[in-house]
Amino acid sequence: MIRLEWSDLALAATLVLILAALSWRSRLGIERTLLVAAIRTALQLTLIGLVLDVLFSLSRLEWVAALAGVMVLLAGREVMARQARPFAGWWGYGLGTLAMAASSCAVTVLALTTMVSPTPWYEPRYSIPLLGMLLGNTMTGVALSLERLTESTYRRRGEIEGRLMLGATAKQAIADIRQESMRAGMTPIINGMVAAGIISLPGMMTGQILAGAPPVEAVKYQILIMFLIAAGTGFGTFVAVAMGSRRLFDDRERLRIDRLKPPRR
């Protein structure tokens, strides 16, 4: 494996600075966001690298579970932050968090105990990167599905209430929006699977090849990861949309738009 120096990273950072300068000159208005994102990336990855060094040396289940819990909670916050009209109250945060915890954690544990099978099964060198990849992709799917669900429901509230007045149940009145929301959440991972190996080389496979792993072994790991991500994203999307669409109606099956926050300005 070729060792990178900090000067190499500084050179790559220079490219981001040039891009920010071009954004400022073109008056795109994204230079600040770009620079903040770059700084956060460097700081967050450096911090997790230090944490993982300690975690790998300890290799204890309680520490792995604690870090996994923090990752799930932070992912839940990002899901809420990506929505223009999230649910009000704790539902705005809890719904996405519960959906990701139920899907990503379950799929990760299944993969560790039956497919990858490290010893011990919670070996942090395998469990944390695997959970991170599943959470990152599931987070995107859940956020997109909830965004489509809440925005479409608000925009089409008159149509939904009309269906209810004509005798439709809450599930029937919002069925097409549920389907659209689930498709929206699954689209990114489906596109990624279709493009893998033809248009793009996925990140894990590329990283393993750069680290010196045989290409065939890297391919097998990447196929496994893609299938796990698809399952985690799909299950998380289904859970989030099912819980979210139920939350949009009360016990008497009346549409409750007041359970959504006003759009962010």
Banded pLDDT at 3 (limits 50, 70, 90): confident
Banded pLDDT at 197 (limits 50, 70, 90): confident
pLDDT of residue 1: 64
pLDDT of residue 138: 92
Q: How many angstroms from the chain centroid is the CA of residue 253? A: 31
Q: Which tens digits make up the pLDDT trace of 233-252?
A: 999 999 999 999 999 999 99
Q: How many angstroms from the chain centroid is the CA of residue 37? A: 17
**Is the pLDDT reported for residue 264 higher than 80?**
no
Q: How many angstroms from the chain centroid is the CA of residue 71? A: 11
Q: Which tens digits make up the pLDDT trace of 8-60?
A: 999 999 999 999 999 999 988 899 999 999 999 999 999 988 988 888 888 88
List Cα–Cα distances, 241 to 100, 102, 150, 154, in angstroms.
12, 13, 10, 15
Q: Which tens digits make up the pLDDT trace of 142-161?
A: 999 999 999 999 999 999 99
DSSP letters of 18-47? HHHHHHHHTT-S-HHHHHHHHHHHHHHHHH
Which amino acid would we find at residue 131?
L
Q: Which tens digits make up the pLDDT trace of 14-26?
A: 999 999 999 999 9
pLDDT of residue 265: 55
